[in-house]
Amino acid sequence: MARGPKARLPDRRDEVAPAQPKLVRRSVTTGGATTVIRFDTRTPFDENRPQPGTTSALRPTIFRAGSGAGSSPVFTPVDLTAMAPEFTHLDPLGRARMVDVTAKEPSHRRAVARCRVHMEAETASRIASGAISKGDVLAVARVAGIQAAKQTPHLLPLCHPLLVGAVLVNFRLEDTYVEVEANVDTVDRTGVEMEALTAAAVAALTIYDMCKSVDRSMTIGDLSLWEKTGGRSGTWRRPIAETDPFSL
């Protein structure tokens, strides 16, 4: 009796073992409190993708670390929807993100930043008299500050590219320092605080670069936001204290 070919048994080597669930923990510490995030690596986290058959977004399990009776911490579940957005540039897993401003309406916004370049009295005198060999120190620093404001999103990775409407960079020359003030205006969906701070900082760096051949001991400091207007948070102005270097 003729026999047909033997049935080929499946090669076990061709089979791939199913992925095993793996519990991953990631800790994020903000404001002195530690949040532990636990999620299954088989299911990539996507806060915008709903679970099958539901309309709720798929989220990892969040636990807040607290002290227990023993040596090990106690983890309490945390409702993500109730957590205040302490850092808007971090997602629930602690990863960097650009804040979504597409739903906002453009509005007029303004920011003012200041800083100082401290130097020897002789250096300040040379700036005032135009005796610096590289040229007009304040004119070059002004152009550098204006250019820097427009380049801010290329320097700071999570800043939004904005249509910068106006940049003004002014200086106050005193006996032992130059005070830099940068004003930036825009009509856009987010503020220009970082543009103003960047403009002031780069203008100060340019003053250092122009004068370093005669005074390498110069220092740059007191960089701060002085004022911002517009946007959802409205107007903010820095309080002036007696010890504030800008109160003089």
Question: How many Å apart are CA 96 and CA 93, to the nearest integer?
Answer: 9
220: tokens are 């740059």
SS3 242: coil
- What is the distance of C-alpha 186 from the center of its chain? 19
DSSP H helical segments within 7-120, as ranges? none
Cβ neighbors of 56 (< 8 A, separation 6 or more) are: 50
Question: How many Å apart are CA 119 and CA 136, to the nearest integer?
Answer: 17
- 45 by Cβ neighbours in 10 Å (0-12 / 13-18 / 19+) ranks as middle
Active-site residue, 209 included: yes
- Spatial contact of 59 and 45, defined as CB atoms under 8 Å apart: yes
Longest pairwise C-alpha distance within the chain: 116
Q: Catalytic: which of 209, 215, 222, 244?
A: 209
* Residues noted as catalytic: 209
